[in-house]
Amino acid sequence: MSVLIYAETEGGKVKKVAFEVASYGKAVADQMGCEVTAVAFNASDADVLGSYGINKVMNISHEGNFDAKIYASGIQQAAEQLGASVVVVSSSADSRYLSPLVAVGLNAGYATNVVSAPSSLAPFTVKRSVFTNKAFTHAEITSENKIIGVSNNAFGSVENKVACTVEEFTVSLASSSVNVASVDKATDKVTIADAEVVVSGGRGLKGPENWHMIEDLAEVLGAATACSKPVSDMGWRPHSEHVGQTGKPVASNLYIAIGVSGAIQHLAGINSSKVKVVINSDPEAPFFKAADYGIVGDAFEVVPQLIEKLKAFKAQA
């Protein structure tokens, strides 16, 4: 009986999202009365996971790009060697890509978008969000092996320092049928998936020439920038920034929407963000019904002030 978590890395470093996954794994392990082990690829700083309750890291060295099939085979073998019946993964695009493969390999039931620790172990029941965050379901995983995909920022990182050993895990990985020809990725920007704060602009900003406001605000807050669908459709912003039901999901701690009306398809993608702020000149805009805080006003007046005041606030903090 054991719990395994998959700790994602980037450029040889454990990603922040892994701390939440580790914290979740630790909570399940405590419920089960067992230890929690992590599997990672090319992690040079794997022992940081000890701060989140991980006792042991099985580190796999692999040259080359991320590949769902190869990584899935490594995770599966780690679970098998450990005899882990519960595997915990994140909701990142890569984790969602490889986890169905691990699930088939381990003959495991897999629940995605899980928002809290199991409410019971026998039967094994978790709460997950469904209907694009308009409801939750309590799902029972009935198979012996189980995979839990934790919804971003739903459980949070819980510090819990333990002694952590890192071992090299040597396995023969699957061969891939997919080759990466090229990667086009902005490395200097916070991504929507990793961001704790997201600043998003809609059609109310009138044109791409006004986006410096969004970027400046994002910069003060260390936030990622996002936009509504029409904004990316019109080519004001790249498609990778489009959030909502047909775009990227956002589960940040803070989501600031500026000049976004709050159409149901937009809200569907951002509803699991914890705190939502809207700045809109129309008091009837539907976003005010979904938001926690709001300012009725002209973005062109409010946002520059907000940027100045936040700079002052950050400077004194």
Ligand X SMILES: Cc1cc2nc3c(=O)[nH]c(=O)nc-3n(C[C@H](O)[C@H](O)[C@H](O)COP(=O)(O)OP(=O)(O)OC[C@H]3O[C@@H](n4cnc5c(N)ncnc54)[C@H](O)[C@@H]3O)c2cc1C
Of ligand X, another protein, none, which one does residue 285 interact with (CB within 5 to 8 Å by kind)?
ligand X
269 binds, among ligand X, another protein, none (CB under 5 to 8 A by kind): ligand X
Q: State the minimum distance, in angstroms, from the CB of residue 214 to ligand X.
A: 12
Which of ligand X, another protein, none does 203 bind, CB closer than 5 to 8 A by kind? ligand X
Spatial neighbors of 247 by CB under 8 A, at least 6 apart, are 229, 232, 239, 269
Question: By C-alpha distance, which of 72, 17, 14 is closest to 47?
Answer: 14
Least separation in angstroms between residue 261's CB and ligand X is 3
| Closer residue to another protein (CB): 48 or 302 | 302
Point out which residues pair with 167 in neighbouring strands.
58
Instruction: Give the binding site for ligand X (CB under 6 A).
Output: 202-204, 228-231, 244-247, 259-261, 263, 265-266, 269, 279-282, 285, 298-300
CA distances from 230 to 199, 201, 247, 261 (A): 16, 10, 11, 11
> Choosing among ligand X, another protein, none, which partner's interface includes residue 139 (Cβ < 5 to 8 Å by kind)?
another protein
Question: Measured between alpha carbons, how far is 17 from 152 in angstroms, rounded to an integer?
Answer: 8
| Distance set, CA 266 to CA 93, 132, 215, 218, 236 (Å) | 19, 10, 20, 20, 17
Smallest separation (angstroms) from another protein to the CB of 40: 17
Considering beta carbons, is residue 152 or 280 the nearer one to ligand X? Answer: 280
Torsion sign across C-alpha atoms 76, 82, 88, 92: negative
In the complex, least distance from residue 50 CB atom to another protein, rounded to whole angstroms: 26
